[in-house]
Structure 1
Amino acid sequence: MAGFKLKVYNRTREKLEPLLKLGAQAVNFPAETAEPGSMVITMLSDDAALRDVTLGSHGLCDSFGSGSLHLSMSTISPDTSRDLAQRHRQAGGDYIAATVSGRPDAAATGKLGIYVSGASEAKKRVADILRTLGRNVADCGEDPGAANVVKLAANFMLFSAVEAFAEALTFAEKQNLDRNAVMKALCDNLFDDVVYRNYGKLLAEQHYDDPQFKLKLAFKDLKLAIQCSESADAPMRLAESLHNRMLSLIATGRGDCDFSVIGRGAAEEAGLIHANN
């Protein structure tokens, strides 16, 4: 735990066990993790979960006071971050958004990409923790919602890249080429990037049942991006296409697969049947 003393809470108690073995202290309510002057980190699945943990019964704000700081690492709506920042100021504390890019293995090794936004002085307080968690910390400004905008943009680009690679490999397979060989050729010659290499391998091998980022959570993020684009009058044509791809896969029971199951959708649309999934 990099030398930090932790009080930890999870709505699913069993998920705390690895942290408890490392010396963390479990508490029964979110409010018990916070006290005036303390720092609390949250990472939750959606806006509703964050609001419940923060504003609900025995929520964080019940224990907040002068000098308290809430570091929110959830992928949520920018408007939710802005609203929570205002509520925290009213309680005498600060709210910082610090969204992340990276799969669980990156988190475990402190190699997340982090986007941070909020009040300058509060960002200084969290700088050491963010440097422990991430390989790079990008400052997105003082708007509490800015880090959420950047994260939604990043995820939209990630989903688009995976869709493009899925369609490319399907196209190659329909020409009787080997998916793995094509994936390697493309990455070695043009797309030498961790995203294409990691997801290209999953797409080439068609292994989608070990979810590191579930499709239904990716779909939630995509919908947030579309909602934000509509409010800003910023058309996102690829996002609309991805929405239909993901919705179709969720409707056919694949919401709990890794979101790279997008590759399965592209293959099925082309009349290919893959035995692995």
Structure 2
Amino acid sequence: MQVGFIGLGQMGAGMARNLLKAGHAVTVYNRTPAKADALVAEGAARAATVADACRGEAVVTMLANDQAAEEVVFGPHGLLATLPRGALHVSASTIGVELSERLAAAHGAAGQLYVSAPVFGRPDVAAAGHLFVVAAGAASAIAAAGPLLDAVGQRTFTVSDIPARANLVKLSGNFLIACVIESLGEALALVGKAGIDKTQYLDLLTSTLFGAPVYKNYGRLLAEPGDAPVGFAAPLGLKDIKLALSAAEALGVPLPLASLLRDRFVTLLATGGADQDWSAIGRLAARDSGQS
């Protein structure tokens, strides 16, 4: 398939590379051109503009936030204006429900296909092609996107024919992950201040009651000394919690834990954590108790 890929951050670069490996003809664009160099060396074509990445059958966007997605899609020479009629936009970005609704309406009016397909997984998972994809859109659009989604993920969950519902599922999932990080951090701070070995404690938890990967992976990041490598930056964590709260308000659903998490992220960013991984909110409890 002739596919453009827009957004070559830690997640996007790995996804684009897996599309290349699957045999797709990939044209890549990033606002910082140097981020495309490695993929071009591996066989991708370089797009000088957003429009240049939108000449084929499909385009995939993996962008940091709503503002970036709006600029790429609705700009005067953006995706909406240049993607051919009948072509497909797969939005893998974690964006708000309201923006996803706008994208679906705009693509529909332009005669273009639109699939919302945010993903679960950190950059190493993206590089390995083992992401979990949450997809929503019209059946014909989902079918057209299938080869692309298969190339970047180990499994695709189709949740609705309404694209924005995939974004709601993604936001709810990130909310749950943040809850795990915060609760793990508090528990590790509690036992750590009593002198219990955190790694041994984590092994006990993940070998018995809490064997899910999210506990193992984030528990390891919190139990090990030093800052975790940045796989998902703390400001993006705050962004996602705020989007979850916005969606919840629109639906009339109270999320008291999300309000707490918003404050924890604000605390982290206000105290020098803007360059840290979002898991750093799990270290606040230890810091607040005088352990670090």
Contact 1:206/1:264 (<8 A) preserved? no
Q: Could you say which residue in structure 2 is the equivalent of 1:101?
A: 120
Divergent runs of 4+, >2 A: 206-209
Shift of 1:208: 2.3
Q: Could you say which residue in structure 2 is the equivalent of 1:203?
A: 222
Aligned match for 1:27, one of 47, 53, 75: 47
DSSP 3-state at the match of 1:228:
helix
CA deviation map 1:194-227 (0-9, x unaligned): 1111111110014325201111111100100011
Residue 9 of structure 1 aligns to which amino acid in structure 2?
Y
Contact 2:59/2:90 (<8 A) preserved? yes
1:187 matches 2:212: no
Alignment of 1:111-150 (within 5 A): 111-150=130-169
1:39 matches 2:58: yes
CA deviation map 1:50-94 (0-9, x unaligned): 110111132112212321110000000111111111111111111
DSSP 3-state at the match of 2:107:
helix
Alignment of 1:82-97 (within 5 A): 82-97=101-116
Q: Could you say which residue in structure 2 is the equivalent of 1:4?
A: 24
Q: Could you say which residue in structure 2 is the equivalent of 1:229?
A: 248
Quote the Cα distance in structure 2 between the aligned partners of 1:245 and 1:89. Answer: 39
Query: Percent of pairs identical after alignment?
Result: 39
Quote the Cα distance in structure 2 between the aligned partners of 1:242 and 1:51. Answer: 26
Q: Could you say which residue in structure 1 is the equivalent of 2:234?
A: 215
Q: What runs of 5+ residues in structure 2 fail to find an aligned partner?
A: 1-19
Q: Could you say which residue in structure 2 is the equivalent of 1:73?
A: 92
Shift of 1:147: 0.5
Q: Could you say which residue in structure 1 is the equivalent of 2:291?
A: 272
Q: What runs of 5+ residues in structure 1 fail to find an aligned partner?
A: none
Quote the Cα distance in structure 1 between the aligned partners of 2:42 and 2:241. Answer: 35
Alignment of 1:136-175 (within 5 A): 136-175=155-194
Bigger shift: 208-217 or 149-158? 208-217
Residue 268 of structure 2 aligns to which amino acid in structure 1?
L
Instruction: Compute the RMSD of aligned alpha carbons.
Output: 1.1
Bigger shift: 148-157 or 189-198? 189-198
Q: Could you say which residue in structure 1 is the equivalent of 2:79?
A: 60
Contact 1:31/1:61 (<8 A) preserved? no
Shift of 1:181: 0.9
Q: Could you say which residue in structure 1 is the equivalent of 2:277?
A: 258
Bigger shift: 204-213 or 191-200? 204-213
Shift of 1:135: 1.2
Contact 2:122/2:231 (<8 A) preserved? yes
Quote the Cα distance in structure 2 between the aligned partners of 1:226 and 1:209. Answer: 26
Bigger shift: 128-137 or 241-250? 128-137
Bigger shift: 220-229 or 56-65? 56-65
